Amino acid sequence: MHPVPTNEKNKIILALDVPGAEEARDLIRRVGARVGLYKVGLQLFTRCGPDIVKEIRDAGAGVFLDLKFFDIPNTVRHAVESAVALGAEMLTVHLGGGPGMLAAAAQAAQGSDTLVLGVTVLTSWDDATLAAVGCHGSVEDQVVRLARLGGECGIRGLVCSPREITPLRETLGASPILVTPGIRPAWAGADDQKRMLAPAEAVAAGANYLVIGRPITAHADPAAAAQRILDELS
């Protein structure tokens, strides 16, 4: 793997949604420093484990470990400690895990360079899904409620859909770090994303980081696609 310096000014987080280490290495080799961080999610982590995180970090790049922890506070505290020890620059917990779990997660990362992000409501959910698990009201109200709870418990960043950037900024101001998937440049297909914004639109709305997968990973030339997005952002 070629060395890939972490570039904190680069807002692009590349989702490594690939089956294994070989595919991940190939993408990283091709895209290189055109992205700021690499997102390792459930698929790749379940196959390759912490070794893939170490490998990416050893190559000089940063990792967003997107495992969406949701468990009792003691278990999540120790899981966050493990992710911090691995050197993840960002990790995720479900805000629905409640105050005790969120405070435990925030405390476990305190004093480290790891940013704990709270996942509000998954974008695959709608008002009917919320009602099915006993939450009555709109997705937007639930997103804002959970984001507030996260802030009260020391969670400084949020994963949200592009549609939620404006209500979150209106209610919580500039301080939370917003990380947004559902990004589609005008020249890319929608795939299964339904509520999308173009990269520059999401940044203009207040996103701090953009999680981008298939517009880069499924492109015939991933490096060119990443460069085109970077150019659109600058």
Q: Rule CB under 6 A: which residues touch ligand C5P?
A: 15, 17, 41, 122-123, 159, 161, 181-182, 191, 193, 211-215
Residues forming a β-bridge with 13: 37, 211
| 135 SS3 class | coil
Q: Tell the smallest beta-carbon distance from residue 141 to ligand C5P (Å).
A: 17
Active-site residue identified among 11, 39, 54, 68:
68
**Count of CB atoms within 10 A of residue 16's CB?**
27
| DSSP β-ladder status, 157-159 and 115-119 | parallel
Q: Tell the smallest beta-carbon distance from residue 191 to ligand C5P (Å).
A: 6
Q: Tell the smallest beta-carbon distance from residue 209 to ligand C5P (Å).
A: 11
For ligand C5P, the closer of residues 57 and 94 by Cβ is 94
Burial class (CB in 10 A: 0-12, 13-18, 19+), 195: exposed
Structure tokens at 190: 């929608």
For ligand C5P, the closer of residues 151 and 181 by Cβ is 181
Q: What is d(CA 75, CA 95) in angstroms, rounded to the nearest whole number? A: 15
| 3 SS3 class | coil
Q: Tell the smallest beta-carbon distance from residue 36 to ligand C5P (Å).
A: 15
Q: Tell the smallest beta-carbon distance from residue 113 to ligand C5P (Å).
A: 22
| DSSP structure class, residue 183 | B
Which of 159, 120, 156, 118 lies closest to 138 in space, CA to CA? 120
Based on the residue annotation, tell me whether 9 is a catalytic residue of this protein.
no
**Count of CB atoms within 10 A of residue 75's CB?**
13
Structure tokens at 206: 């207040």
For ligand C5P, the closer of residues 10 and 73 by Cβ is 10
For ligand C5P, the closer of residues 57 and 184 by Cβ is 184
For ligand C5P, the closer of residues 114 and 123 by Cβ is 123
Q: What is d(CA 130, CA 108) in angstroms, rounded to the nearest whole number? A: 29
Cite the active site residues. 68
